[in-house]
Chains A and B, each alone.
Chain A
Amino acid sequence: MSTPMRSGIVPLLLVLAVAHSPAQAPGTDTDPKEALQELLSKALTVTVSARVLPPDTQEETPVWNAESTKLTLPGRSIKVRLDGENVRIYLICTPYLQDDGDVLLLAQGQVWFTESQDKENRYFSTFYSIPVSFGEKVLFFPLGLSDADAQQKNHFNIEVEIKIVPYEKKQ
């Protein structure tokens, strides 16, 4: 006798369970304005400076330099591409905030290089995970770090500097 009644209650309970389920999600919801403020407080400014240094180590003035400042969120990668006559360099940086307040920088470098003589292409790919403090500089040498031998051959060297600081809203 109770079967029809029971079969009628089950869908009702299911509906109520579905309607109630969002409130059972773990965690605490924050006001959207506070959420936006918190999001802004987590935003990061990534500055990438590239410079070509002369062969002479005594000369500090770069032959060429360029800078790019990117705004991002922790976990969102930024990408910088350097285009040269015979080289193309990709730098992909993904900063992560650590529990201690520092930043873990995941950086991937890709270098495409074309030999001028035989038109042979060379490709390098590197991946680094570097814990850094805010403002601490990270250097990337996509074509290697020139040694004394390279300096004697008057080879230019390219250097990319990465710096991450917290985003501060412009007033």
Chain B
Amino acid sequence: MDETRHLLKEEEDQQWRAPMERVRRRILAHVPRERERVSAWKRQVSLPLPVAALAAALLLTFGVTLAVLATRTNMGYIRVTKAPAGGTEYQFAVPYDKVEALLKSMGGADANIESVMTIPKSVKLIPVGEPRMGKANDFLRKKQ
């Protein structure tokens, strides 16, 4: 009985112990080491110089734009540009219908582009010649 037990014990050692030991060492060899914690303030990022310059320029542009928008709350509605030649150019930072709205706020219903006048049906009109247009004074002179 003892002999049998001894044989079994030796056989177990021969068959299992050595591979188990190898596996254990392999596992231990691959256990990740605990990383050192580095503060975010100490971490460094490397960037190519052109990319860094581009990012800085974009940030500067956005910053300036934001500052201008913050200081001029009512900008952009209308801008009048006096051209060097003396002409005046109106630039509207709004769609054309907003300009119509502006005119309506100034002139009420009269600011609509089109108006309709209805001639009474009792009035029968017949062309007596070609359409004519001119200064009123010219027509008065001709009548005289």
Binding site for B on A (CB under 8 A): 5, 7-9, 11-12, 15-16, 19, 25-30, 32-36, 38-40, 42-43, 45, 48, 50, 52, 63-64, 66, 68-73, 76-87, 99, 107, 109, 111, 113, 116, 122, 124, 126, 128, 130, 132, 136-147, 150, 155-158, 161, 167, 169
Instruction: For B29, list chain A residues within 8 Å (CB).
Output: none
A122 → B minimal CB distance (Å): 7
Contact A138 B136 (CB under 8 A): yes
A1 → B minimal CB distance (Å): 14
Q: Could you give 24 example pairs across A and B, Cβ below 8 Å?
A: A16-B57, A30-B79, A30-B80, A32-B72, A35-B90, A38-B80, A50-B117, A52-B125, A73-B103, A83-B116, A84-B119, A84-B123, A113-B127, A122-B127, A126-B133, A128-B133, A138-B135, A138-B136, A139-B133, A140-B132, A141-B133, A143-B127, A144-B128, A145-B129
Select one of A66, A138, A144 contacting B130, CB under 8 A: A144
A60 → B minimal CB distance (Å): 13
Contact A63 B123 (CB under 8 A): yes
Instruction: For A35, list chain B residues within 8 Å (CB).
Output: 78-80, 90
A29 to B83, CA, bound (A): 10
Binding site for A on B (CB under 8 A): 48-50, 53-54, 57-58, 60-61, 72, 74-84, 86, 88-90, 103, 106-107, 110-121, 123-137, 139
Instruction: For B127, list chain A residues within 8 Å (CB).
Output: 111, 113, 122, 124, 143-144
Instruction: For B107, list chain A residues within 8 Å (CB).
Output: 45, 70-71, 167
Contact A36 B125 (CB under 8 A): no
B117 → A minimal CB distance (Å): 4
Not counting A39-B78, A146-B129, a sample of 12 additional A-B residue pairs whose C-beta atoms are within 8 angstroms of each other reads A12-B53, A12-B57, A19-B61, A29-B81, A40-B106, A70-B107, A84-B123, A85-B123, A138-B136, A139-B135, A143-B125, A158-B119
Tell me the total A-B contact number using a CB cutoff of 8 A: 214
Q: Chain A: which residue is nearest B72 at the CB level?
A: A32
A136 to B137, CA, bound (A): 9
Select one of A29, A107, A137 contacting B79, CB under 8 A: A29
Contact B74 A32 (CB under 8 A): yes
Q: Chain A: which residue is nearest B139 at the CB level?
A: A139
Q: Chain B: which residue is nearest A122 at the CB level?
A: B127
Contact A9 B125 (CB under 8 A): no
A154 to B113, CA, bound (A): 35
A157 to B139, CA, bound (A): 14
Instruction: For B78, list chain A residues within 8 Å (CB).
Output: 32, 35-36, 39
Select one of B50, B113, B131 contacting A144, CB under 8 A: B131
A153 to B110, CA, bound (A): 38
A79 to B74, CA, bound (A): 32
Select one of A25, A34, A128, A145 contacting B139, CB under 8 A: A145
Q: Chain B: which residue is nearest A128 at the CB level?
A: B133
Q: Chain B: which residue is nearest A129 at the CB level?
A: B133
B111 → A minimal CB distance (Å): 5
